[in-house]
Structures are given as C-alpha cells and as structure tokens.
Amino acid sequence: MNMEQSFESMSAAWPWIVMGLLLAIFFALFHEIDARRKKKGKKDYCSEGIACGMGLGVALGITLHINIGVAMMVGMIIGLYFGSKKEKKEKEQDINGLSK
C-alpha cells in the first residue's frame, strides 16, 4: 500500500470519524442538559435549536461545499447549545384557559 492509497482511504473515512465524534459530543451534551432541566424543572428551546441548527448546517454545507452530514451534525450541536441557554417563559392563562 503506497502513500497515495493511504491518503485516499483516510479521506474516505474522515467524514465518518468526524460524525462519530460529533454524535458522542451531542449525546453527552444532551444528557447533561436533560439532567439539569429535570433537576430545575425548567423548559428550554433545545428541540427548536436542534432543528434550526440542522437546517443552517445543511445550508452552510451546501454553500461551502463540505460534507452535508458533518455540517448537519455541527449545526445540531451548536443549535442544542444555544437552545439550552434560552429558557421558555410560562404563558399566562385567563380564566377560560386561553393564552393571553
């Protein structure tokens, strides 16, 4: 196996390695945020952040010509981080149960 073949095989494996590491970071971060949320009993924008981050990651991946899977995972982690920092406010309800 010469040097050119090893670089070729490494470039094929690189996106899978990065996605595996990003998944590990995602699950570790999500577990920490979920445990903190259950302890405090507060709600946040984690799911909204994940969805927005994935969309932005795919858009940036297409624009910058990088692997879409890697860009989506990076966007998901960034969205999870920023979504967990913003807390949802309780909506006030009137007597009839409608939101004000």
- Rounded to two decimals, the pTM is 0.61
> What tens digit of pLDDT does each residue of 46-65 get?
888 989 999 999 999 999 98
How many folded domains does the chain comprise?
1
pLDDT of 9 strictly over 60: yes
Residue 21 resides in a domain: no
The dihedrals phi and psi of 13, each to the nearest 5 degrees, come to -85, -20
The strand pairing partners of 44, in sequence order, are 87
Alpha-carbon distance of 68 to 57, in angstroms, equals: 8
Task: Work out the percent of the chain whose per-residue pLDDT is above 70.
Answer: 81
Domain region containing 80: 44-86
**Among 92, 86, 75, which Cα is nearest to 33's?**
86
Residue 51 resides in a domain: yes
pLDDT of 88 strictly over 70: yes
